[in-house]
Structure formats: structure tokens, C-alpha cells
Amino acid sequence: MTYVIAEPCIGTKDTACVDACPVDCIHPKKDSPAHAEEEMLYIDPVECIDCGACVPVCPVSAIFALDDLPEKWASFTERNAKLLGFHGTEGVGSDRPAHLSLA
Ligand code: SF4
Ligand code: SF4
């Protein structure tokens, strides 16, 4: 399982969850070039340890455990997972830890 960020993050994107995450798996962070380009943040489903620490700090309740994700936002599961596909390129995930590089 993993946690997923859904639609309410769009337009908020305040990065409160980034600071709460113990494994640094929410991207793109403020210091990443991709941060300005993306309308929301995403959780790397491989790195997420399902601790739930990000959930209570989100001001717009955008973060859900996969099992609790409302059906209307089901597409956000794939959208978060696409983080992996962007890794190594100019875009989301380019600030992931080097040991996870797919390049
Ligand atoms: S559930 Fe825990 S590990 Fe996963 S994104 Fe949230 S804070 Fe990070
Ligand atoms: S705390 Fe919520 S609104 Fe803020 S960046 Fe994280 S998911 Fe988006």
C-alpha cells in the first residue's frame, strides 16, 4: 500500500507534508526546478513507508491511504506513481535520491 495525494492539493501545494515525511518521498520539493512547473505534489509509492505522518498536516485533507482514497480521485493513484517514470529527466522526481536512479 501507499499514500496518495489527490486533487485538493492543486492550488494549495504548500509543502507542509514534505516537512512531515520521515523518508523524504514527497516531490517535487521547493528547491527542485520541477516544483514551479507542477500544480501539485506527489508521493513516491516505492519510497512511502505508510506511516501516515503527512495526513494530519495537510490543510486541505488531500492525502489518503490508498484504501481510503475516494473513488472520484482514483486516477490520482496513477498520477502519483508516474513520479517514477519522470525520474532522471527534467521534471517530477528529478530530485529523488541518487540510489534510486533509473538512468
Ligand atoms: S505516509 Fe509517511 S512515508 Fe508516506 S508520504 Fe506520508 S509521511 Fe511520507
Ligand atoms: S500538505 Fe497537502 S496541500 Fe500541502 S503540498 Fe502536501 S498534499 Fe499538497
> In 1-103, at which residue ranges do the beta strands (DSSP E only) sit?
3-5, 26-27, 42-43, 63-65
Kind and range of the H or E element at 16? helix 16-20
Q: How far apart are CA 102 and CA 3, in angstroms?
A: 22
Averages of pLDDT over runs of 10 residues in the chain (103 residues) are 95 96 94 91 95 98 97 95 59 45 36
The minimum-distance atom of ligand 1 relative to the CA of 24 is: 8
Nearest-angstrom CA–CA distance, 87 and 8? 24
pLDDT attached to residue 83: 74
8 A C-beta contact, residue 26 and residue 41: yes
Give ligand 1 pocket residues (Cβ under 6 A): 3, 20-21, 23, 25-26, 43, 48-54
- The pLDDT assigned to 57 comes to 98
Ligand 1 atom 6 nearest Cα: 54
Architecture of domain 3-92: 2-Layer Sandwich (3.30)
pLDDT of residue 84: 64
Distance of CA 89 from the midpoint of ligand 1 (Å)? 24
Structural domain spans, the chain: 3-92
- pTM: predicted TM-score of the whole model, two decimal places: 0.84
